[in-house]
A and B are shown apart, each in its own frame.
Chain A
Amino acid sequence: MSVHDVREAITRAHREEWARVVASLTKRFGDLDIAEEAAAEAFAVAVERWPADGVPPGPGAWLTTTANRKAIDRIRRESKRDDKHKEAQLMYGDDPPDPLGVIDDERLRLIFTCCHPALAMETRVALTLRMVGGLTVAEIARAFLVQETAMGQRITRAKGKIKAARIPYRVPSAEDLPARVSGVLAVLFLVFNEGYLATGPDTDPVRHELTSEAIRLTRLIRALLPDDGEVAGLLALMLLTEARRTARVSASGELVTLDEQDRGAWDTALIAEGHRLVRERLASGVAPGRYQLLAAINAVHTSARDVRDTDWSQVVALYDQLVRLEPSPIIVLNRAVAVSELDGPEVALAAVDRLEDQLAGYHAFHATRAELLRRLGRSQQARAAYDTAIELAGNTAETAYLTRRRGQLG
Chain B
Amino acid sequence: MKYLVSVIDDTSNSATPDEMVAIRAFNEGLQADGHWVFAGGLADPSTATVVDNRGSEPMITDGPFLETKEYFAGFWIMEAPDLDVMLRLATEASKACNRKLEVRPLL
- Residues of A bordering B, CB below 8 Å: 116-118, 164-168, 172-173, 176
User: Shortest Cβ distance from A158 into chain B, in angstroms?
Assistant: 13
* Interface flag for B105 (CB, 8 Å): yes
A166 and B82 contacting across the interface, CB-CB below 8 Å: yes
User: Shortest Cβ distance from A320 into chain B, in angstroms?
Assistant: 33
User: Shortest Cβ distance from A25 into chain B, in angstroms?
Assistant: 19
Counting contact residues on chain B (CB < 8 A from A), the size range is: 10 to 19
A166 and B87 contacting across the interface, CB-CB below 8 Å: no
User: Shortest Cβ distance from B103 into chain A, in angstroms?
Assistant: 8
Q: Provided the pairs A164-B105, A165-B105, A166-B1 are in contact, do residues A118 and B87 lie with their beta carbons within 8 angstroms?
A: yes
The 6 tightest CB contacts between A and B, nearest first, are: A168-B82, A166-B82, A165-B105, A167-B83, A165-B83, A168-B84
**Least CB separation from B107: chain A residue:** A164
B105 and A167 contacting across the interface, CB-CB below 8 Å: no
B84 and A172 contacting across the interface, CB-CB below 8 Å: yes
Which chain B residues border A172 with CB–CB below 8 Å?
A: 84
Residue picked from A164, A172, A176, most chain B C-beta under 10 Å:
A164
The answer for the CA separation of A176 and B1 in the assembled complex, in Å, is: 21
6 A-B residue pairs with Cβ-Cβ distance under 8 Å, sorted by A, are: A118-B83, A164-B105, A165-B104, A166-B83, A168-B83, A168-B84
Which chain A residues border B103 with CB–CB below 8 Å?
A: 165
Which chain B residues border A116 with CB–CB below 8 Å?
A: 83
**Least CB separation from A169: chain B residue:** B82
The answer for the CA separation of A116 and B86 in the assembled complex, in Å, is: 13
A176 and B105 contacting across the interface, CB-CB below 8 Å: no
Flag B43-86 by CB within 8 Å of A: 1 or 0 each. 00000000000000000000000000000000000000111100
User: Shortest Cβ distance from B86 into chain A, in angstroms?
Assistant: 8
User: Shortest Cβ distance from B102 into chain A, in angstroms?
Assistant: 12
**Least CB separation from B87: chain A residue:** A118
User: Shortest Cβ distance from B39 into chain A, in angstroms?
Assistant: 20
Flag B82-98 by CB within 8 Å of A: 1 or 0 each. 11100100000000000
The answer for the CA separation of A173 and B87 in the assembled complex, in Å, is: 13
Residue picked from A117, A166, A167, most chain B C-beta under 10 Å:
A166
User: Shortest Cβ distance from B77 into chain A, in angstroms?
Assistant: 15
User: Shortest Cβ distance from A185 into chain B, in angstroms?
Assistant: 19
**Least CB separation from B106: chain A residue:** A164
Which chain B residues border A165 with CB–CB below 8 Å?
A: 83, 103-105
Which chain B residues border A166 with CB–CB below 8 Å?
A: 1, 81-83, 105
